[in-house]
Amino acid sequence: MPDNTPLLRVPPPLTARRRAEPGKLAPPRLLKSAGFRFAVLFAAMFASAAIALVAVLWWATAGALDRQTDVAIRADAVALSERWREAGQNAVAESIEERLAVDVGNEAIYLLMDASGSLRLAGNIDRWPPEAAERAWFRTVVRHDGFEVEARLHRVDLPGLRLLVGRDETEREMLRRLLTEGVIWASGAVILFALLGAWLLRSVLQARLRPAFRTAAAIGGGDLGSRVALSGREDEFDRLAQTMNAMLDHIGTLMVGVRGVSDAIAHDLRTPIARARAKLEDAVGAARDEAALRAAIEEGIADLDNISRIFRALLRIAEAEAGARRAAFAPFDLVPVLRDAAELYEASAEAREQRLEVDLPQQLAMVGDRDLVLQAVANLLDNAIKFTPPGGSVRLAARQTASGLVIAVSDDGPGLSPADRAQAGERFFRADKARATPGSGLGLSLVVAVAHLHGGDLLLDDARAGEAMPGLRAELRFPLP
């Protein structure tokens, strides 16, 4: 097995240079490598299977031969015992001579002696083996046919006689040796294949993990666009890669959002900051008296307040967009919330000689962030009242539909052109017609963010299409929880 070969050949890890501990991204030590452990597991399984196979084979061949021998010996012993019972000592001796005469394989071994063991009555070995005194079945070396041979022997107890029945095992012994040799060779092959298989398994595992590892390393190094390459096999590794990619995409979207907010902050806070700064600087140099200086400073403070208001709005939008507030979602009745908002703005509408018409059902159950929904509706009402001319009316309505809840705010104002509508949710967007009215261009951005936070959407349309003042109809749609 390759020892300590680098597990993964990643491009020189960027982070390794930055971190104090360069070992972090280096291939894991062999014993810690999961690939190695899987490989060892594989080899162990493979070897176990091979051992089981050899054991069965051994039992079926060498074992079977042994058992066959024993069966034959036992049959002989039984037959000779019968013979003795029927016809006595001489018949047994005769029977043994007969059996020896017909034994072409020259395997059978008999020895019949008298009780003292000094007189051989029949048989083909000359010495009573000492092992026969202790055990009925045994294996020993005897002198048979002029050769020292391995024999399997059985002592048969007959009154007044000593009888040994056995088989020469030379042939079988050779066969067993052959078998053992075969098993040893096969075991070598098994070990070789196990190691080869383990190495292959490890290499395949490494190869399949390499794209994920490489991507993670690239992202760790700052390349956020990197994605895990799919093998197209749609297996577990591909599923892991897909999950990782989905996660990276989401992180990417959030990063773009964050970047968008910081860009917008940088871009759009600079203008009011520059304005405030210019005014203050001008006042320092050019103010003729204290009153003028004081007025300039007050204006500067007002500008700063406005900047911090914009900043707060941006943070609120970011908070909603990040989805962190979803943890604070709770069920509430939308109707009192809408009534409160209408009540708050009713006075403003009245002051501008507008009517605020409210059309709400008895109850609308919703799950979400009450404060944010309230602010979204407040922003819509604020816009509607701001853009409706005196004498016009603003309508707040809400209803339950098959797909969810709809809150609609419509006004009698100039409305938005289709092109402006598409842009209306962007931060700091202000339609040309709206430049003269006060506002930060963040109101609808928050509404859109709140809608998205609740899985809903903001739809903008003409309130009365085709008229000179088509008005704007803003619909907040929340899906059913």
Partner 1 sequence: MRILVVEDDAEVARFVKKGLQEAGHKVEHTGSGRDGLFLAASEPFDLLVLDRMLPGGVDGVRLVETLRSQGNRTPVLFLSALSAVDERVKGLKAGGDDYLTKPFAFAELLARVEVLSRRPSAEVPATKLRVADLELDLLSRNVARAGKRIEVQPREFRLLEHLMRHAGQVVTRTMLLEKVWDYHFDPQTNVIDVHVSRLRQKIDRGFDKPLIHTVRNAGYMMRDEP
Binding to partner 1 by residue 29, rule CB under 8 A?
Answer: no
Rounded CA-CA distance 372/375 in Å is 5
Binding to partner 1 by residue 169, rule CB under 8 A?
Answer: no
Binding to partner 1 by residue 347, rule CB under 8 A?
Answer: yes
Binding to partner 1 by residue 313, rule CB under 8 A?
Answer: yes
Q: Which is nearer to partner 1, 211 or 300 (CB)?
A: 300
Binding to partner 1 by residue 326, rule CB under 8 A?
Answer: no
Binding to partner 1 by residue 304, rule CB under 8 A?
Answer: yes
The SS3 assignment for 264 reads helix
CB 155 within 8 A of CB 136: yes
What torsion do the CA atoms of 130, 135, 139, 143 make, to the nearest 10 degrees?
30
Of these, 174, 256, 315, 465, which contacts partner 1 (CB under 8 A)?
315
Of 208, 216, 207, which Cα lies nearest the Cα of 247? 216
Q: Which two tokens stand for residue 83?
A: 């013979």
Question: What is the nearest approach in angstroms of partner 1 to the Cβ of residue 400?
Answer: 25
Of these, 319, 420, 457, 461, which contacts partner 1 (CB under 8 A)?
319
Binding to partner 1 by residue 343, rule CB under 8 A?
Answer: yes
Of these, 146, 225, 438, 466, which contacts partner 1 (CB under 8 A)?
438
Q: At what angle do helices 370-387 and 334-351 cross, to 10 degrees?
A: 30
Rounded CA-CA distance 163/165 in Å is 7
CB 230 within 8 A of CB 33: no
Residues 350-379 that bind partner 1 (CB under 8 A): 350-351, 371, 374-375, 378-379
Question: What is the nearest approach in angstroms of partner 1 to the Cβ of residue 339?
Answer: 11
φ, ψ (nearest 5 deg) of residue 389: -70, 160
Question: What is the nearest approach in angstroms of partner 1 to the Cβ of residue 234?
Answer: 42
Of these, 127, 267, 312, 464, which contacts partner 1 (CB under 8 A)?
312
Binding to partner 1 by residue 445, rule CB under 8 A?
Answer: no
Question: What is the nearest approach in angstroms of partner 1 to the Cβ of residue 317?
Answer: 12
Binding to partner 1 by residue 295, rule CB under 8 A?
Answer: no
DSSP 8-class letter at 131: G
Q: Which is nearer to partner 1, 164 or 314 (CB)?
A: 314
What torsion do the CA atoms of 441, 446, 449, 450 make, to the nearest 10 degrees?
-160
Q: Which two tokens stand for residue 47?
A: 């070897």
Rounded CA-CA distance 149/139 in Å is 10
The SS3 assignment for 353 reads coil
Binding to partner 1 by residue 305, rule CB under 8 A?
Answer: yes
Binding to partner 1 by residue 430, rule CB under 8 A?
Answer: no
Binding to partner 1 by residue 274, rule CB under 8 A?
Answer: no
Of these, 35, 443, 456, 470, which contacts partner 1 (CB under 8 A)?
443
Listed ranges 35-43, 60-68, 213-221, 312-320: which one lies at the site for partner 1 (CB under 8 A): 312-320
CA distances from 109 to 40, 113, 121, 130 (A): 51, 13, 14, 16
Binding to partner 1 by residue 215, rule CB under 8 A?
Answer: no
Question: What is the nearest approach in angstroms of partner 1 to the Cβ of residue 362?
Answer: 19
Q: Which two tokens stand for residue 307?
A: 């900047």
Question: What is the nearest approach in angstroms of partner 1 to the Cβ of residue 232?
Answer: 45
Rounded CA-CA distance 438/423 in Å is 18
Residues 374-413 that bind partner 1 (CB under 8 A): 374-375, 378-379, 382, 385-386
Rounded CA-CA distance 196/410 in Å is 75
CB atoms within 10 A of CB 281: 12
Binding to partner 1 by residue 333, rule CB under 8 A?
Answer: no
* Location of structure tokens 């040994």: 164
Binding to partner 1 by residue 54, rule CB under 8 A?
Answer: no
CB 149 within 8 A of CB 107: no
CA angle 8, 12, 14 (to 5 degrees): 120
Question: What is the nearest approach in angstroms of partner 1 to the Cβ of residue 301?
Answer: 8
> What kind and span of H or E run contains 401?
none
Rounded CA-CA distance 412/454 in Å is 28
- Residues that bind partner 1 (rule: CB under 8 A) add up to a total of 33
Question: What is the nearest approach in angstroms of partner 1 to the Cβ of residue 327?
Answer: 9
Q: Which is nearer to partner 1, 315 or 465 (CB)?
A: 315
Q: Which is nearer to partner 1, 278 or 328 (CB)?
A: 328
Binding to partner 1 by residue 306, rule CB under 8 A?
Answer: no
Residues that bind partner 1 in the complex, under the rule CB under 8 A: 298, 301, 304-305, 308-309, 312-313, 315-316, 319, 325, 328, 340, 343-345, 347-348, 350-351, 371, 374-375, 378-379, 382, 385-386, 438-440, 443
